[in-house]
């Protein structure tokens, strides 16, 4: 998997308008970057108010921080500023468009440390940057399949090439469900138990069906047929009839055959055999409905087994 880096320049350009950023000095350090996962290996805090003991990747300087610097004598102040830039932060950010001290600007210029200013308050910048950086550097993986929203949950349709994943997706679109991504959906772990799936920009709104080629789903079915992102909750895996044994015993009753680990999280999987006469669209919808029921605590298989056990208990010896 290729390394994912976020540079100071990329962060600035992406959030310039939203965070009302101005670049004061240190443009030569715009290529400074943090790598995905580095914050865990080095125990870095992604963003926070100025800290010279446990430095943040982005150091925010509000009124209190600037006032604290002003309270230091000349020697302590210069040593502190040297220590701050010596940690090589991704950027220093002055809040509320306060006047930037001349010595801070000078040392940022000398050390090529990006120094930004914003009209927003520190707490606003802190909350927004925490979300932005955590999202940008979260663990991410690309899987092969068609990712769709079915009955409000994210369902990834997987299987070997040529089994009809795209045809199944097209049938589901005709039944009112929505496409998130075809072929190479990207999944990001945005919370300990949440995988958010989205579509690469190159493949946005597109679905490839053998014999028909590439189709623009938004143009064909309208804006409501496409979803920007969705949480992954279920995998429907298409298999050839001879590639898997027919389920027996409890497996036949529960239907759900396994769980697939994705970025360390187990995602439930239903195996659907592709055979003549089987309506895969109906079966996929049923799998999604069954998963929703189980998430609510309703398990038909468990209820049946409980009835069966109760019946055996009542039977005479």
Q: Give the residue numbers marked as catalytic.
A: 144, 165, 183, 252
The helix or strand, by DSSP H or E, that contains position 166, with its residue range, turns out to be helix 165-174
DSSP conformational letter for 32: -
The side-by-side arrangement of strands in the sheet containing 45-49 is 21-25, 115-118, 91-94, 56-61, 45-49
State the Cα angle at 54 between 53 and 56, rounded to 5°: 125
Q: Which among 231, 214, 238, 222 has a CA at the least distance from the CA of 174?
A: 222
Antiparallel, parallel or unpaired: β 229-239 and 265-273: parallel
| Cβ atoms 229, 187 nearer than 8 A | no
Q: What is each CA distance from 34 to 15, 18, 26, 90, 230, in whole angstroms? A: 16, 21, 17, 7, 27
Q: What is each CA distance from 226 to 160, 196, 239, 252, in whole angstroms? A: 24, 16, 26, 34
């Amino acid at each position: 998997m290729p390394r994912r880096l976020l540079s100071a320049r990329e962060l600035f350009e992406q959030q310039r308008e939203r965070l009302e950023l101005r670049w004061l000095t240190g443009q030569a350090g715009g290529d400074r970057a943090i790598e995905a996962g580095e914050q865990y290996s080095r125990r870095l805090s992604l963003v926070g108010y100025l800290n010279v003991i446990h430095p943040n990747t982005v150091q925010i300087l509000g009124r209190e921080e600037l006032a604290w610097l002003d309270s230091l004598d000349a020697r302590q102040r210069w040593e502190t500023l040297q220590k701050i830039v010596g940690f090589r932060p991704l950027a220093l950010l002055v809040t509320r468009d306060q006047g930037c001290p001349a010595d801070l600007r000078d040392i940022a210029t000398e050390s090529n440390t990006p120094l930004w200013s914003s009209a927003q308050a520190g707490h606003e910048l802190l909350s927004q940057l925490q979300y932005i950086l955590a999202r940008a550097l979260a663990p991410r993986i690309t899987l092969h399949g068609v990712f769709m929203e079915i009955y409000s949950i994210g369902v990834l349709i997987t299987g070997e090439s040529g089994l009809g994943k795209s045809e199944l997706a097209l049938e589901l679109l005709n039944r009112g469900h929505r496409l998130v991504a075809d072929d190479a959906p990207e999944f990001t772990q945005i919370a300990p138990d949440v995988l958010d799936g989205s579509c690469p920009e190159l493949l946005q709104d597109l679905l490839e069906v053998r014999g028909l080629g590439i189709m623009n789903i938004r143009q064909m079915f309208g804006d409501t047929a496409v979803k920007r992102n969705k949480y992954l909750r279920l995998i429907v895996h298409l298999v050839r009839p001879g590639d898997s044994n027919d389920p027996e015993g409890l497996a036949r009753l529960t239907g759900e055959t396994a769980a697939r680990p994705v970025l360390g999280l187990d995602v439930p999987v239903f195996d659907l055999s592709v055979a003549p006469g089987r309506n895969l669209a109906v079966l996929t919808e049923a799998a999604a409905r069954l998963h929703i029921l189980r998430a609510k605590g309703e398990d038909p298989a468990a209820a049946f087994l409980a009835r069966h056990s109760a019946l055996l208990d009542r039977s005479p010896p």
